[in-house]
Amino acid sequence: MTDERRKFKRESAEARKEALILATLELVAENGVRGATVRGIAERADVTQGLIRHYFSSKEELIIAAYEHHMNQMTDLTFAPGAAAGSARARLRAFVDGSLTPPVVDPRALALWASFLNKVQNDPQMKETHQRTYAYFRDRLEALIAAALEEAGHPAPAARLRQLAIACNAVIDGLWLEGGALPDAFAAGELVEIGRQSVAAITGLDLEQEAET
Amino acid sequence: MTDERRKFKRESAEARKEALILATLELVAENGVRGATVRGIAERADVTQGLIRHYFSSKEELIIAAYEHHMNQMTDLTFAPGAAAGSARARLRAFVDGSLTPPVVDPRALALWASFLNKVQNDPQMKETHQRTYAYFRDRLEALIAAALEEAGHPAPAARLRQLAIACNAVIDGLWLEGGALPDAFAAGELVEIGRQSVAAITGLDLEQEAET
DNA sequence: CGAGTAATTATGCAAGTGTATAATTTCTCC
DNA sequence: GGAGAAATTATACACTTGCATAATTACTCG
């Protein structure tokens, strides 16, 4: 009954890194960045802690990698549905729908966002990633609104477009936040419905009817 | 040159507790809940760490006290401006203004909210405080919208009122979030302007003109 | 002004933290 | 199937953490 050394299987660097990143995101969502300890992450990834040092030169580096992984995933999830062509109105609607449906609306996604916020404000690299992602979101939304307004024959000047984009982005962010914070407070589809109506009311567009005369 | 024992002044329990709570909020905003160490808090409050134990039986208890202090302060700040009587429309406008102006819109307030979120989701007591505060906000907003609509001669059924309140709350929350996250991205008064316009567009009310025919 | 008491400081401890480094195992390739 | 190299494990260390407890100080009240 000697204490045997642990058996293990060699994995590719990519697979191991991803596994470590996923384990990190789980623990950051549950316990925050400081609560995601190296030992905890290693255990969650079914690996000993020394291995983390082998792939990431510090915990800081792992955290940053996990943050960028998460942000990329959120971006993909939001824009994937609307990538398919169609009228600008349809694409705008798809953007709203994608932003207000799981897995984008999700307690875990909100928890991750909140957990990372502190580091995002302080660490320059993470701050840069954050600002770039945010700008990408809003610019894309602004372009969608501009196209939809033009399509409807109601083009708007740049200054107004900026305000509309900020406002629509805010409703979506706010609904996303509330949906993640109080998952049981809203019926299925309710957030999407309210999101569509609000964006429609703010922009003056009709997002519901599909037919084009 | 003997190491002298530190001089100190006795304070009332209330003053000390408040000082400790304020120091705690500072550190939580800067470093998160786990980053707000007992030693750090004591240093910020210009006190030795043992004193914390004297007033709070555990760090957990201090954190909860700090959270409730912060939530109460935010509530007061939001509703104080609109307490003065006036038309429902004016009170609704005051609510929007107060929610989208410093010190409610503030990087520190956002950082605190984010830092506490994890604990809010897990700790039952903090969860209860959070849900109560959120419900208070939204009910109050819904009542304001209902009154303003009726005042304007456009009463709405309960189901629609609920949706309007959720939507308006979301715009405000979203603008609050973005204003706190990117303080330099918005000109002074811009958030308030966009907030007013959005709430007006969603509800169909005119929040700008003051005169009543 | 002097004793008592509560506020405050000082010190210690066990557990957990990130990181560094040595020891071992698995896999590849000839 | 065996040697070499890289992946993985194991161990150790210095530091921080929350908490407990003893020692001292400042204020109150007679």
Domains parsed from chain A with CATH numbers: 11-57 (1.10.10.60), 66-203 (1.10.357.10)
CA of A86 to C1' of C2 (A): 92
> How far is residue B165's CA from residue B142's CA, in Å, rounded to a whole number?
5
Determine which of B145, B171, B194 to mutate to test the interface with A (most A C-beta atoms within 10 Å): B171
CB A203 within 8 A of CB A145: yes
Q: How far is the CA of A43 from the C1' of C27 (A)?
A: 24
Read off the DSSP letter of residue A49.
T
Q: CA(B101)–C1'(C4) in Å?
A: 53
Question: Is the confidence at residue B212, as pLDDT, over 50?
Answer: no
Query: Binning pLDDT at 50, 70 and 90, where does residue A208 land?
Result: confident
Q: What is the ipTM of this complex?
A: 0.91
Q: Do B171 and A169 touch (CB under 8 A)?
A: no
Per the CB < 8 A criterion, the answer to whether B174 and B151 are in contact is no
Calculate what percentage of chain A has a pLDDT beyond 70.
95
Is B170–A167 a contact, with Cβ atoms under 8 angstroms apart?
no
Indicate if the pLDDT at residue A152 is higher than 70.
yes
pLDDT computed for residue A149 by the predictor: 97
Q: How confident is the model at residue B213 (pLDDT cuts 50, 70, 90)?
A: very low
Contacting residues for B139 by C-beta, under 8 A, at least 6 apart: B165
Q: For residue A72, what are the contacts with CB-CB under 8 A and spacing of at least 6?
A: none
Nearest nucleotide to the CA of A7, by C1', is C25
| A118: number of Cβ within 10 Å | 23
Nucleotides of D under 7 A from a protein CB: 7-11, 16-22, 24-27
Closest to A172 in 3D by CA, of B5, B171, B7: B171
Handedness of CA B76, B112, A70, A68 (dihedral sign): positive
- Nearest partner of B178 among A94, A52, A177, judged by Cα: A177
| Omega prior to A157 cis, within 30 of 0 | no
Q: B110 to chain A: which residues are within 8 Å by CB?
A: 117
Q: Is residue A49 over pLDDT 50?
A: yes
Q: Which nucleotide lies at the shortest CA–C1' distance from A51?
A: D8
* A184: closest chain B residue by CA: B131
Report the percentage of chain A scoring pLDDT > 90. Answer: 87
Q: How many CB atoms lie within 10 A of CB B120?
A: 20
Joined tokens for residue A84: 């398919």
- Higher local confidence (pLDDT), A5 or A166: A166
In chain B, the largest separation of any two C-alpha atoms, in whole Å, equals: 81
Look at residue B52 in the predicted model and tell me its pLDDT.
Answer: 97
Q: Round the average pLDDT of chain A to a whole number and report it.
A: 93
Percent of chain B with pLDDT strictly greater than 90: 86
Q: Is pLDDT of A191 > 80?
A: yes
Q: How far is A178 from chain B (nearest CA, A)?
A: 8
How far is the alpha carbon of B54 from chain A, nearest alpha carbon, in Å? 26
Residues in reach of strand C, judged by a CB distance below 7 angstroms, are A 5, 7-10, 34, 36-40, 49-50, 52-53, 57-60; B 3, 5-6, 8-11, 13, 16, 47-51, 53-54
Of B84-88, B111-115, B151-155, where does mean pLDDT reach its minimum? B84-88
pLDDT 10s digits, B21-67: 999 999 999 999 999 999 999 999 999 999 999 999 999 999 999 99
Of A140, A159, A143, A162, nearest to A151 by C-alpha is A143
Region of A32 please: left (phi>0), alpha (psi -120 to 50) or beta: left
Q: What is the pLDDT of residue B210?
A: 58
8 A C-beta contact, residue B112 and residue B29? yes
**How many contacts, defined by CB atoms under 8 Å, are there between A and B?**
127
CB contact under 8 A, B175 and A170: yes
- Other C-beta atoms lying within 10 Å of the C-beta of residue A6: 7
The token duo for A35 is 């609560």
Dihedral sign, Cα of residue A204, residue A209, residue A210, residue A212: negative
**Does A116 have pLDDT greater than 60?**
yes
Instruction: Give the CA distances from residue A212 to residues A96, A198, B48, B72, in Å, rounded to whole numbers and listed in that order.
Output: 20, 21, 72, 51
DSSP conformation class of B100: T
Q: Would residue A187 be called left, alpha or beta, if left means φ above 0 and alpha means ψ between -120 and 50 degrees?
A: beta
Cβ-nearest to B117 among A35, A114, A130: A114
Assess whether the previous peptide bond of A103 is cis (omega < 30° from 0): yes
> What is the 3-class SS of B44-93, one letter each residue?
HCCCCCHHHHHHCCCHHHHHHHHHHHHHHHHHHHHHCHHHCCCCHHHHHH
Q: What is the pLDDT of residues B123-150, one digit of tens each?
A: 999 999 999 998 999 999 999 999 999 9
Q: Which two tokens stand for residue B93?
A: 């406008």
pLDDT confidence of residue A7: 93
Contacts of B114 in chain A (CB under 8 A): 113-115, 117-118
Residue with tokens 């914070």: A181
User: Using a 7 Å CB cut-off, which residues contact strand D?
Assistant: A 5-6, 8-11, 13, 16, 47-51, 53-54; B 5, 7-10, 34, 36-40, 49-50, 53, 57-60
Question: What is the reported pLDDT for B211?
Answer: 46
What one-letter code names the amino acid at A120?
V
Q: Is the model's pLDDT at A205 over the cut of 60?
A: yes
Structure tokens at A90: 């349809």
Banded pLDDT at A201 (limits 50, 70, 90):
very high
Cβ-contact B205, B152 below 8 angstroms: yes
Average pLDDT on B188-199 reads 97
Instruction: Label residues B17-32 b or e (16+ Cβ within 10 Å = b).
Output: bebbbbbbbbbbbbbb
pLDDT of residue B163: 97
Yes or no, beta carbons of A114 and B115 under 8 Å apart: yes
